[in-house]
Amino acid sequence: MQATTQQPATQAGTITIGGDLTVNRMAYGAMRITGDGIWGPPKDHDEAIRVLKRTLELGINFIDTADSYGPYVSEELIAEALHPYPDGLVIGTKGGLLRTGPNQWPVDASPEHLDEALKGSLKRLKLDRIDLYQLHRFDSKVPKEETLGYLKEKQQEGLIRHIGLSEVSVDDIKLAQQHVEVVSVQNMYNFGEQKWNDVLNYCEANNIVFIPWYPLNAGDVAAENAIRKVAQRHGATDYQIALAWLLAASPVMLPIAGTSSVKHLDENVQAATIQLTDEDLQDMPLPN
């Protein structure tokens, strides 16, 4: 019991990515350890380093990032805080977006840009191979086959271990599967925003890890009220309940709770210890 008390992330259970990377199902998203608008360095560099080190202490062994976070800042901080990496830590990063300013995210999934992005991520993260490299978006200006062909080529060269996709439909996944093995899908998903239920169901049926981002959908009043009601019942935060619901929603779900605060990180990871009751699930029904 001592290990699970000190490392609450272990209480979420485990999930295996690509058949060979087993991680705890409470993970960390490193977008927020950057400046406002996900642009530039964090306001508190030392706190960002403490957050990253604390993830390991809490039992987190999957960290999600991207070259576009900062840009470059998130990956650089991860290496600064955690390299040389402990055995079992999996770092997933992404490529396919440009940064032209705060909160600006133009898409570029051309092989030329992805090559620059991948090489940059390898250098910043101080890795010889990315365990999970995820395509941020398909690009309407670039044939999907070209983008997928580049990723497959780099996988064959040993620079990428596993390939994932982000913000994709079932049809997108099926097309990609004609070219590469898709081991993960990262789409926006939360209790109040379940438009990707068909993708989640497809992932379950095909043993694809589903990585939900934006776990607390601020703005959906009905969802917020339901979450708050359950949170009060458990003496928990809204964010903890939103994460606990994601863990309960599917065995292929890998939530990536992001924050730039050690205090909030500690709070968020406690979601792994919350067991939702039948009464809770009447207020917050699981997806169909």
Phi, psi of 266 (to 5 degrees): -60, -45
Q: Helix or strand or coil: residue 24?
A: strand
Catalytic residue among 69, 133, 150, 202: 69
The predicted-structure confidence for 42-87, as pLDDT tens digits, reads as follows 999 999 999 999 999 999 999 999 999 999 999 999 999 999 999 9
72 annotated active-site:
no
pLDDT the model gives residue 2: 33
pLDDT in tens, 24-50: 999 999 999 999 999 999 999 999 999
8 Å CB contact between 69 and 105? no
Across the strands, what pairs with 134?
Answer: 94, 164
Mean pLDDT value across the chain: 96
**Residue 71, preceding bond cis, omega within 30 degrees?**
yes
On the question of pLDDT at 221 being above 90, the answer is no
CA distance 285 to 279: 10
Check if the beta carbon of residue 18 is closer than 8 Å to that of residue 162: yes
d(CA 198, CA 176): 17
Mean per-residue pLDDT for 180-190? 97
Name the amino acid, one letter, at 23. V
Top CATH class, 2-283: alpha beta
CB-neighbour burial class of residue 213 (10 A; exposed 0-12, middle 13-18, buried 19+): middle
